Amino acid sequence: MLKEFTHLLREIEEYIGNPEFAEELERARKGYFEQIGDPRDGEPFFEMRLMSFVEWFAFDRKLDSLNLAPISLFIKERAQALSDLDKEILAGFERSIHGLFRVEKKKGAQARLKDHFHGKRYRNVEGLAPSLDRGDLAEVRIVPLGARFHLTEAYCYHPPDAQKFIIQELKRARKNGDDLEGLLRQFMAMSTKWERYPRMRLSEIYKW
């Protein structure tokens, strides 16, 4: 299934690059990076930030004219040509869970993650980036596939000393009914600043 998962992810990335989405994609890109800081070519996290934007646009942002996310439009347009396996994976993409997760356990190719906004745990999670390990906190996207889960490629890592601040803010946001996506974007901006200016004190970055 991993081969098909990756192949479909690439197909969706190519799909949103179609000319029909060009103007809206560019407007969305400008707004996204105005919030988190435009990544600069050559920075270690450059490709990862671009992937985060692409996944957000494909899975979360509804197209202005249709009120549908591109993933839903992709499925609608190609439904008749899809295999049962492709339909299962794409349905998982459509129901993906985007949030901040702590790696509670990692064994071989599988991991157990805790969603620190909703408090839910996910077992049998595959596709964890090799650079992430037990105890790490990162923004990731989980795709349900039957009884298992698989991660997409984009993630945003947050340093250990920032975890207390982030988790407290997630709890506060949930209690107040605040928008999770907006909060994730603010945390990503902090992570970008932390990676860009390693000599700055962490407490001067992860704060309001």
| Entry pTM | 0.95
pLDDT tens for the chain, residues 1 to 208 = 679 999 999 999 999 999 999 999 999 999 999 999 999 999 999 999 999 999 999 999 999 989 999 999 999 999 889 999 999 999 999 999 999 999 999 998 899 999 999 999 999 999 999 999 999 999 999 999 988 999 999 999 999 999 999 999 999 999 999 999 999 999 999 999 999 999 999 999 999 9
The pair of three-digit structure tokens given for residue 185, joined into one six-digit string = 């974007």
Q: How are beta strands 137-145 and 97-107 bridged, if at all?
A: antiparallel
What are the beta bridge partners of residue 98?
141
Structure tokens at 6: 């990756």
Rg (CA), the chain: 17
Helix (H, G, I), strand (E, B) or coil at 179: coil
Give 114's contacts (C-beta < 8 A, 6+ positions apart): 101, 102, 104, 120, 121, 122
Both tokens of 169, joined, read: 């803010």
Tell me the DSSP string of 77-142: HHGGG--HHHHHHHHHHHT-EEEEEEEEEEETTEEEEEETTT--EEEEEE---TT--TT-EEEEEE
Fold of 2-158: OB fold (Dihydrolipoamide Acetyltransferase, E2P) (2.40.50)
Intervals of CATH 2.40.50.140 along the chain: 2-158
Rounded CA gap, 93 and 96, in Å? 5
